[in-house]
C-alpha cells in the first residue's frame, strides 16, 4: 500500500466528521424534540473536542474547523 497525502487527508476528514456527528447525536439524544437546531459543530482538529454552534456566523479559534449540520446529516 502506498501512503499518499490525499489518503491521509481523507482519513482526517472522516475522523473529524465522525467526532462531530457524535457530538451532534448526543445533543439530540439528550434534548429530543425540544432541541434548538444548531448550524454545525466547531471541532479542534487535533483533540476532536468540540461544541455545537447556534449563531449564524460561527467564530472559530485557531486549530478549529467547522462541520455544518448539512454535512453531518448528508453523510449519516
User: What was the pLDDT predicted at 35?
Assistant: 81
Into how many domains does the chain fold? 1
Q: Name the residue range of residue 35's domain.
A: 5-74
More confident residue, 47 or 10: 47
CA 44-45-51 angle, to 5 degrees, is 30
Kindly report which listed range (9-13, 26-30, 53-57, 59-63) carries the lowest average pLDDT score: 9-13
User: What was the pLDDT predicted at 34?
Assistant: 84
Give the model confidence (pLDDT) of 4-25 as tens digits.
Answer: 555 545 556 889 999 999 999 9
Q: Inform me whether the pLDDT recorded for 1 exceeds 50.
A: no
* Other CB atoms within 10 Å distance of the CB of residue 70: 10
Amino acid at each position: 500500500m502506498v501512503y499518499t497525502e490525499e489518503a491521509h487527508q481523507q482519513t482526517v476528514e472522516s475522523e473529524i466528521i465522525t467526532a462531530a456527528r457524535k457530538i451532534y447525536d448526543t445533543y439530540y439524544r439528550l434534548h429530543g424534540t425540544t432541541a434548538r437546531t444548531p448550524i454545525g459543530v466547531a471541532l479542534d482538529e487535533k483533540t476532536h473536542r468540540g461544541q455545537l454552534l447556534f449563531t449564524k456566523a460561527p467564530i472559530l479559534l485557531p486549530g478549529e474547523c467547522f462541520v455544518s449540520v448539512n454535512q453531518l446529516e448528508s453523510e449519516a
